[in-house]
């Protein structure tokens, strides 16, 4: 059940990010769900390898290169998922930041709501 809730939260985060960031496009809720699934798979299997390979650059840039790694991950997701598109590096970097913030805010709000219901 938690996996399903996390999937819906990430899909909503994709839709809100598409609304906020120009150049970050999600056609519909189905594309958002597919994007959330693929993002989870890419974050599990590919992002750790990318982070390891780019660790020296990340260290040299004091962590800022991690934003580029997140952008590459979003480009991979956009390449795989029909109905999800990122128009360039700036929308990918901003989209990654906004996606993380929106997802965290939604998750936090739902946790707080769950505490009130109990």
Looking at residue 100, what DSSP letter applies?
H
Overall pTM surpassing 0.75 (yes/no): yes
pLDDT of residue 95: 96
> What region, left, alpha or beta, does residue 25 occupy, with left being phi > 0 and alpha being psi -120 to 50 degrees?
beta
What pLDDT shows up at residue 118? Answer: 60
SS3 category, 22: coil
Residue-wise pLDDT for 30-69, tens only, equals: 999 999 999 999 999 999 999 999 999 999 999 999 999 9
How far apart are the C-alpha atoms of 3 and 9, rounded to whole Å?
Answer: 10
Task: Dump pLDDT digits (tens) for 63-112.
Answer: 999 999 999 999 999 999 999 999 999 999 999 999 999 988 988 887 77
């Amino acid at each position: 059940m938690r996996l399903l809730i996390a999937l819906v939260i990430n899909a909503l985060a994709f839709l809100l990010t598409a609304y906020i960031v120009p150049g970050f496009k999600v056609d519909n809720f189905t594309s958002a769900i597919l994007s959330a699934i693929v993002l989870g798979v890419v974050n599990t299997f590919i992002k750790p390898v990318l982070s390891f390979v780019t660790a020296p650059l990340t260290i040299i840039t004091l962590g800022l290169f991690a934003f580029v790694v997140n952008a590459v991950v979003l480009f991979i997701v956009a390449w795989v998922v029909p109905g999800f598109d990122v128009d360039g590096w700036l929308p990918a970097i901003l989209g990654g930041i906004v996606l993380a913030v929106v997802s965290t805010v939604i998750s936090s709000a739902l946790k707080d709501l769950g505490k009130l219901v109990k």
